[in-house]
Amino acid sequence: MKNKSEGPKINQAIRTDIENSVLCWLATVDAEGTPNVTPKEIFSCYGDDHLVVADIASTNTVRNIKTHSAVCASFIDVFRQRGFKIVGTATIVPPEHPDFQIIGIELLRKAGTAFPIRHIVSIKIVRISRIWAPSYTLFPDRAEADRMQSAYDAYGVNPRIAPDV
Ligand SMILES: Cc1cc2nc3c(=O)[nH]c(=O)nc-3n(C[C@H](O)[C@H](O)[C@H](O)COP(=O)(O)O)c2cc1C
């Protein structure tokens, strides 16, 4: 996960948890230092050292980043009960930026035409840390299937089982 000379890199474990996380929570601070944290569904990694998030309706987030570039994003796979926290430096990429389509390729795919992307929030990763549910340390021998079943029970979810083909 960490490369000393170039900063942290996105590895497969991070990619997997991004794919399995429905939302990320993006925290910014305003000019007075007041924190702001809101959910974003349209997010992905870009390359191996950036997280990108779609601004579809995030006026305060964009305004805050323009004065304070430090951000923190976290996401979890609610069923496996683990995820990551990313601290980074954000820039706002407007649609007229020459690389908007490239940087936003995954966001544009996820959002489709129904959810226009006003800007891309591009986050250069400075620090990554794991988020584990406490059960990982309290019950380290619990099997993943049992952990997932307890999350299904907690959320009242009945997972679809893929039919044998
Ligand atoms: C489930 C869910 C998913 C959302 N996904 C996004 C998103 O991907 N991008 C976005 O800009 N807003 C998204 N929003 C809306 C923002 O969270 C919401 O407009 C929020 O008030 C923006 O706050 P801000 O202006 O402080 O950033 C989502 C909201 C919910 C409830």
Domain CATH for 39: 2.30.110.10
107 within a domain of the structure (yes/no): yes
Residue 165 included in any domain: no
The residue length of the chain stands at 165
**Which H or E run includes 93?**
strand 82-93
Indicate whether 100 belongs to any domain: yes
pLDDT of residue 7: 86
Q: Considering the domain boundaries, does residue 162 fall inside one?
A: no
122 occurs within a structural domain: yes
Q: Which of 29, 8, 151, 5 is nearest to 85 (CA)?
A: 8
The range of the structural domain enclosing residue 68 comes to 2-155
Asked whether residue 99 is assigned to any structural domain, the reply reads yes
Distance 121 CA to ligand 1 centre (A): 13
pLDDT digits (tens, 9 = 90+) for 26-84: 999 999 999 999 999 999 999 999 999 999 999 999 999 999 999 999 999 999 999 99
User: In testing the pocket of ligand 1, which one of 21, 29, 34, 56 has its CB within 8 Å of the most ligand atoms?
Assistant: 56
* 95-106 as b/e: b if 16+ CB within 10 A: eebeebeebbeb
Domain count, the chain: 1
Q: Is residue 67 part of a domain?
A: yes
- CA 59 to centroid of ligand 1, rounded, Å: 9
Tokens of 20: 């399995």
Query: Residue 56: its pLDDT value, please?
Result: 98
> Looking at the domain assignment, is residue 20 inside a domain?
yes
For 62, half-sphere exposure in the C-beta direction (CA atoms, 13 angstrom radius) is 15
